[in-house]
Amino acid sequence: MARGNETANKIFYKGSSDDFIVFVDDLEILQKWKSDRSVPLTEVLNGWKIFVTHSHGAQGVLDTASQSALQNEFGTTNDDECMVKILEGGEYQATTAREREGGKNDSNGSR
């Protein structure tokens, strides 16, 4: 059975010095949040973390954004405010990871 082919929904924010990414659950919930701010961010976001790609675009290596990177780009280190700015100004992207096939029990040897 293939593994690793789940869809990742993310918001890509092209900043002036770095590129930022947050993961969201669903485009429908994101659009609902944009029109109705009473929807809690916890329902929109898939994990409460901001990632930075070090200007390598949406496909770069993801590292946790430092407080100084957030301060330089958004003028604040408050995660809530930064996430709102990323959700408002970012671009929605849905990607599917390619399938991975691998041995499930290497102790069986080659068959």
Q: Find out whether 48 and 64 touch, Cβ atoms under 8 Å.
A: no
Per-residue pLDDT, averaged over 31-45, amounts to 89
pLDDT at site 8: 78
**pTM for the structure as a whole:** 0.76
Q: Work out whether strand 51-52 and strand 19-23 pair parallel, antiparallel, or are unpaired.
A: antiparallel
Q: How far apart are CA 50 and CA 75, in angstroms?
A: 15
More confident residue, 93 or 96: 93
- Structural domains of the chain, with CATH: 18-95 (3.30.1250.10)
pLDDT at site 39: 87
Alpha-helix residue ranges (DSSP H) falling in the chain = 27-35, 41-44, 67-74, 79-89
Q: Residue type for 51, please?
A: F
Which SS3 state, helix, strand or coil, does residue 56 take?
Answer: coil
Q: Find out whether 86 and 34 touch, Cβ atoms under 8 Å.
A: no
Per-residue pLDDT, averaged over 71-98, amounts to 87
pLDDT at 110 over 50: yes
Q: How far apart are CA 104 and CA 111, in angstroms?
A: 12
Q: Residue type for 22, please?
A: V
**Cβ neighbours, 10 Å, residue 66:** 13
